[in-house]
Amino acid sequence: MFAQRLANVAGSATLKAAAEAERLRRAGFNVVDFTAGEPDFPTPHHVKAAGKAAIDANFTRYTAAAGIPELREAICTWYKVHYGIDLTPAEVLLTAGGKQALFNAALALFDPGDEVITHAPYWPTIPEQIKLVSATPVIVQTRSDEGFAVHAEAVIGAITPRTKGIIINSPCNPTGALVDEATLAPIVEAAAKRGIWIVLDLCYEQLIYDEVPHNLPKVLFDRHRDRTVIAGSASKSYAMTGWRCGWSIAPKPLTSAFNTIQGQTTSNITSITQKAALAAVSGPQDAVHVMLAEYRTRRDAIHGWLTAHPAIKCVKPKGAFYLFPDISALLSSDGLSTSADFAQALLEQEHVAVTAGEGFDAPGYLRISYATSMEQLREGATRILRFAESLRPAKAGVAR
Ligand SMILES: Cc1ncc(COP(=O)(O)O)c(C=O)c1O
């Protein structure tokens, strides 16, 4: 009945988990919800004020499909200041979140039969968008005992004559891992030799906890600028998920193709959002630093609490706001045998909602969003530890 392209495309595991939590909450349970894929902070005051002013000034009509020039300009300036790369507004297009930037890229670049390489554990939208355009995702696994590091040889080894693109996400949802400049460089060089596109999902670029080199745009621009797409977003950096503002940075001809796609589908992103995003990108950045500092404190706390349990192993995330613990030592063939079972039982018994690793191509793991209050984190950690202890106290070596 429906188009073939939908046959293999899955819905969002995170949204399903959040809906389950909401069902329990409405039934009157005190649910601790760790499924959020978005900041719990309000949009900064000056950004909201710019949105309100836009309404009052009747800035409520269509804009150019690619967005208003002053915001595209401001994004160029932002990338110049932060990464030292020179852009023109003709290379920037505003999208309804980073999600639409990535989907525009998939639509414009990938044909049925093309292979597109990405790394796992992944944000599920990445492979699902590849499937939506009838191309084939090729997955390179990363390992928690290596900090979920992407290895250049593994990505390059996955290239075939059918490879059309490589999608890299850093900081990564769900692992919080970063891709090193030194890892990206040989991948880009291999792609450049073969004319393969690189799509870099940088939507969490302002949520990196330590001062580490992460100038991936420069690595790309120095080597392969004419086949590079960067997806950026105001959602996570500026607590603006509901406003829907992202952008693509791509060579001019590809940006024109995105403009055609968007012009015939959604047109411009909301005019009011554009004015608010202009204030976000070009105004004071204090709120970003305050939120980052708070996420860091929360990360350290929840990481410390959970890893105190000997059966829970967890890499400390370097970016984004998710913990991705390995709970496989708590699974057993005669009890909860998968992380999906674990997440379901945790929800039913302790009313803690997490997203099971299966949704990220990582069975045996849980994704815990720490974009929630310290009180909720403390309470949720207590419940998770109690639940873990109830499962395998003897094996896990927990004193009773
Ligand atoms: C890795 C990653 N990229 C991109 C996005 C896109 O977010 P938005 O469309 O709100 O910019 C998300 C959202 O969760 C994400 O996790």
Residue nearest to atom 7 of ligand 1 (CA): 98
CATH number for the domain including 369? 3.90.1150.10
User: Confidence class of residue 383 from pLDDT cuts 50, 70 and 90?
Assistant: very high
User: Confidence class of residue 393 from pLDDT cuts 50, 70 and 90?
Assistant: low
Q: Which residues line ligand 1 (CB under 6 A)?
A: 37, 97-99, 123, 169, 173, 201, 203, 233, 235, 241, 246
User: Is this structure's pTM higher than 0.85?
Assistant: yes
Single out the residue in 265, 282, 299 at which a domain terminates: 282
Q: Mean pLDDT, to the nearest integer, of 358-369?
A: 97
Q: Mean pLDDT, to the nearest integer, of 86-112?
A: 98
Q: Are residues 249 and 374 in the same domain?
A: no
Report the percentage of the chain scoring pLDDT > 70.
98
Q: What is the pLDDT of residue 394?
A: 46
- Check whether 399 has a pLDDT greater than 60: no
Q: Are residues 107 and 21 in the same domain?
A: no
Answer whether residue 294 is part of any domain. yes
Q: Mean pLDDT, to the nearest integer, of 37-53?
A: 97
Q: What is the pLDDT of residue 18?
A: 85
Ramachandran class of 56: left when φ > 0, alpha when ψ lies in -120 to 50, beta otherwise: alpha
User: Confidence class of residue 398 from pLDDT cuts 50, 70 and 90?
Assistant: very low
Q: Is 141 exposed, middle or buried (0-12, 13-18, 19+ CB in 10 A)?
A: middle
User: Confidence class of residue 15 from pLDDT cuts 50, 70 and 90?
Assistant: confident
Q: Are residues 31 and 58 in the same domain?
A: no
Q: Is 210 exposed, middle or buried (0-12, 13-18, 19+ CB in 10 A)?
A: exposed
Q: What is the pLDDT of residue 338?
A: 97
Q: Are residues 151 and 232 in the same domain?
A: yes
Q: Mean pLDDT, to the nearest integer, of 81-105?
A: 98
Q: Are residues 76 and 162 in the same domain?
A: yes
**How far apart are the CA of 99 and the centre of ligand 1, in A?**
6
User: In this structure, are residues 175 and 324 in contact, taking their beta carbons and an 8 Å threshold?
Assistant: yes
- Check whether 148 has a pLDDT greater than 50: yes
pLDDT tens for each residue of 297-323: 999 999 999 999 999 999 999 999 999
Q: What is the pLDDT of residue 71?
A: 98
Answer whether residue 372 is part of any domain. yes
Task: Give the phi and the psi of residue 350 in degrees, each rounded to 5.
Answer: -115, -5
Nearest-atom number in ligand 1 for the CA of 101 is 9
Q: Are residues 54 and 38 in the same domain?
A: no
Number of domains the chain is built from: 2
Answer whether residue 292 is part of any domain. yes
**How far apart are the CA of 358 and the centre of ligand 1, in A?**
19
Q: Are residues 225 and 370 in the same domain?
A: no
Answer whether residue 397 is part of any domain. no
Nearest-atom number in ligand 1 for the CA of 37 is 14
Q: Are residues 99 and 25 in the same domain?
A: no
Nearest-atom number in ligand 1 for the CA of 172 is 1
Nearest-atom number in ligand 1 for the CA of 102 is 4
Token representation of residue 43: 């949009």
Return d(Cα 400, Cα 393) in angstroms, integer: 8
Best mutation site among 170, 175, 235 for ligand 1, i.e. most ligand atoms within 8 A of its Cβ?
235
Single out the residue in 247, 282, 317 at which a domain terminates: 282
Q: What is the mean pLDDT of the chain?
A: 95
Return d(Cα 143, Cα 119) in angstroms, integer: 11
Those residues with Cβ within 8 angstroms of residue 274's Cβ, 6 or more apart along the chain or in another chain: 54, 63, 67, 68, 71, 94, 245, 268
Residue with tokens 């330590």: 210
Residue with tokens 């603006």: 240
Q: Mean pLDDT, to the nearest integer, of 214-225?
A: 97
Q: Are residues 200 and 213 in the same domain?
A: yes
Answer whether residue 396 is part of any domain. no
CATH number for the domain including 181? 3.40.640.10
pLDDT tens for each residue of 317-352: 999 999 999 999 999 988 999 999 999 999 999 999
- Check whether 72 has a pLDDT greater than 70: yes
Answer whether residue 400 is part of any domain. no
Q: Are residues 94 and 164 in the same domain?
A: yes
Q: What is the pLDDT of residue 12?
A: 81
- Check whether 283 has a pLDDT greater than 50: yes
Structural domain range at position 385 = 4-42+287-391
Q: Is 42 exposed, middle or buried (0-12, 13-18, 19+ CB in 10 A)?
A: exposed
Answer whether residue 270 is part of any domain. yes
Q: Are residues 53 and 37 in the same domain?
A: no
Q: Are residues 200 and 216 in the same domain?
A: yes
Single out the residue in 223, 257, 282 at which a domain terminates: 282
Residue nearest to atom 14 of ligand 1 (CA): 37
Answer whether residue 398 is part of any domain. no
Return d(Cα 318, Cα 165) in angstroms, integer: 26
